[in-house]
Amino acid sequence: MPAIPANINGVQVELGPQANNDVSASLIVGLQHCIRPNIAPPHYLLKIYISSAADQHVMPSRHAQHKAVDISRINNIKIAIGYPGEAATVAIVNAIQNVFETYSGRRENFGPHLKRKLGLNFSVPGHHDHIHLSVN
Protein backbone atom coordinates (compact mmCIF):
# COMPACT_ATOMS: atom_id res chain seq x y z
CA MET A 1 0.00 0.00 0.00
CA PRO A 2 1.19 3.52 -0.66
CA ALA A 3 2.18 5.83 2.16
CA ILE A 4 0.57 9.16 2.92
CA PRO A 5 3.02 11.70 1.49
CA ALA A 6 4.75 14.27 3.70
CA ASN A 7 3.41 16.99 1.42
CA ILE A 8 0.04 17.11 -0.34
CA ASN A 9 -0.39 19.88 -2.92
CA GLY A 10 2.09 22.05 -1.02
CA VAL A 11 0.52 21.38 2.41
CA GLN A 12 2.82 19.78 4.99
CA VAL A 13 1.50 16.55 6.48
CA GLU A 14 2.58 15.61 10.00
CA LEU A 15 1.74 12.16 11.31
CA GLY A 16 1.05 11.36 14.93
CA PRO A 17 3.38 8.85 16.61
CA GLN A 18 0.79 6.04 16.37
CA ALA A 19 -0.37 6.81 12.81
CA ASN A 20 0.42 4.01 10.38
CA ASN A 21 0.52 5.87 7.08
CA ASP A 22 0.13 2.86 4.78
CA VAL A 23 -3.29 3.53 3.27
CA SER A 24 -5.27 2.77 0.13
CA ALA A 25 -4.43 4.68 -3.04
CA SER A 26 -8.04 5.91 -3.16
CA LEU A 27 -7.63 7.58 0.23
CA ILE A 28 -4.52 9.41 -0.95
CA VAL A 29 -6.43 10.61 -4.02
CA GLY A 30 -9.23 11.77 -1.72
CA LEU A 31 -6.75 13.74 0.39
CA GLN A 32 -5.24 15.25 -2.75
CA HIS A 33 -8.75 16.30 -3.71
CA CYS A 34 -9.44 18.29 -0.53
CA ILE A 35 -6.06 19.25 0.94
CA ARG A 36 -4.61 22.34 -0.71
CA PRO A 37 -3.25 25.70 0.46
CA ASN A 38 -6.03 27.82 -1.04
CA ILE A 39 -8.93 25.67 0.15
CA ALA A 40 -10.57 28.57 2.08
CA PRO A 41 -9.47 32.00 0.82
CA PRO A 42 -8.37 34.32 2.31
CA HIS A 43 -7.11 31.72 4.81
CA TYR A 44 -4.25 29.41 3.86
CA LEU A 45 -3.77 25.80 4.81
CA LEU A 46 -0.10 25.18 5.48
CA LYS A 47 -0.13 22.03 7.60
CA ILE A 48 -2.38 19.20 8.72
CA TYR A 49 -1.79 16.73 11.53
CA ILE A 50 -3.04 13.20 10.97
CA SER A 51 -3.56 11.66 14.39
CA SER A 52 -4.85 8.34 13.11
CA ALA A 53 -4.67 6.39 9.87
CA ALA A 54 -4.40 2.60 9.62
CA ASP A 55 -3.93 2.03 13.34
CA GLN A 56 -5.49 1.53 16.76
CA HIS A 57 -8.75 0.24 15.33
CA VAL A 58 -10.29 -3.18 14.77
CA MET A 59 -12.39 -4.50 11.91
CA PRO A 60 -14.73 -3.41 10.46
CA SER A 61 -13.31 0.08 11.05
CA ARG A 62 -12.30 1.90 7.87
CA HIS A 63 -9.02 2.68 9.69
CA ALA A 64 -8.28 -1.03 10.08
CA GLN A 65 -8.99 -1.41 6.36
CA HIS A 66 -6.42 1.31 5.55
CA LYS A 67 -9.22 3.50 4.17
CA ALA A 68 -9.56 6.30 6.77
CA VAL A 69 -7.64 9.14 8.38
CA ASP A 70 -8.35 11.48 11.26
CA ILE A 71 -7.11 15.06 10.96
CA SER A 72 -6.95 16.68 14.38
CA ARG A 73 -4.91 19.85 13.78
CA ILE A 74 -5.03 22.57 11.16
CA ASN A 75 -1.96 24.83 10.91
CA ASN A 76 -0.76 23.54 14.32
CA ILE A 77 -4.08 24.44 15.98
CA LYS A 78 -6.03 21.57 17.53
CA ILE A 79 -9.50 21.47 16.01
CA ALA A 80 -10.84 20.95 19.55
CA ILE A 81 -9.46 24.41 20.45
CA GLY A 82 -9.86 26.33 17.17
CA TYR A 83 -13.35 25.19 16.22
CA PRO A 84 -15.63 27.11 16.46
CA GLY A 85 -13.73 30.06 17.95
CA GLU A 86 -10.92 30.72 15.45
CA ALA A 87 -12.06 32.01 12.03
CA ALA A 88 -9.26 30.48 9.94
CA THR A 89 -9.63 27.04 11.54
CA VAL A 90 -13.40 27.10 11.04
CA ALA A 91 -13.11 28.18 7.40
CA ILE A 92 -10.48 25.56 6.58
CA VAL A 93 -12.24 22.69 8.40
CA ASN A 94 -15.55 23.55 6.72
CA ALA A 95 -13.89 23.82 3.31
CA ILE A 96 -12.04 20.49 3.67
CA GLN A 97 -15.27 18.73 4.58
CA ASN A 98 -17.28 20.47 1.84
CA VAL A 99 -14.72 19.66 -0.86
CA PHE A 100 -14.31 16.06 0.32
CA GLU A 101 -18.06 15.65 -0.26
CA THR A 102 -17.38 16.23 -3.98
CA TYR A 103 -14.89 13.33 -4.16
CA SER A 104 -16.56 10.39 -5.92
CA GLY A 105 -14.77 7.80 -3.76
CA ARG A 106 -15.85 9.26 -0.42
CA ARG A 107 -17.58 7.12 2.17
CA GLU A 108 -17.49 8.83 5.59
CA ASN A 109 -17.04 12.54 6.22
CA PHE A 110 -17.42 13.15 9.95
CA GLY A 111 -16.32 16.29 11.73
CA PRO A 112 -17.48 19.39 13.48
CA HIS A 113 -19.03 20.79 10.27
CA LEU A 114 -20.61 17.74 8.61
CA LYS A 115 -21.52 14.19 9.51
CA ARG A 116 -22.20 12.42 6.25
CA LYS A 117 -21.90 8.85 5.03
CA LEU A 118 -22.17 8.01 1.34
CA GLY A 119 -23.35 11.57 0.70
CA LEU A 120 -26.22 11.46 3.20
CA ASN A 121 -26.56 12.98 6.66
CA PHE A 122 -25.50 10.41 9.23
CA SER A 123 -25.88 10.38 13.00
CA VAL A 124 -22.60 9.48 14.64
CA PRO A 125 -21.34 10.58 18.06
CA GLY A 126 -18.16 12.59 18.59
CA HIS A 127 -15.98 14.03 15.84
CA HIS A 128 -16.15 17.57 17.24
CA ASP A 129 -12.36 17.58 17.70
CA HIS A 130 -11.21 16.06 14.39
CA ILE A 131 -12.16 15.35 10.80
CA HIS A 132 -12.61 11.68 9.94
CA LEU A 133 -12.41 11.00 6.20
CA SER A 134 -12.82 7.54 4.67
CA VAL A 135 -13.19 6.04 1.22
CA ASN A 136 -14.90 3.00 -0.28
pLDDT recorded at residue 59: 53
pLDDT recorded at residue 19: 81
In order along its 136 residues, the chain shows pLDDT tens digits of 789 999 999 999 999 988 888 899 999 999 999 999 999 999 999 999 999 887 665 556 787 788 999 999 999 999 999 999 999 999 999 999 999 999 999 999 999 999 999 999 999 998 999 999 999 9
CA distance 103 to 74: 20
Cβ burial, residue 87 (10 Å; 0-12/13-18/19+): exposed
pLDDT recorded at residue 56: 61
Report domain extents, the chain.
7-135
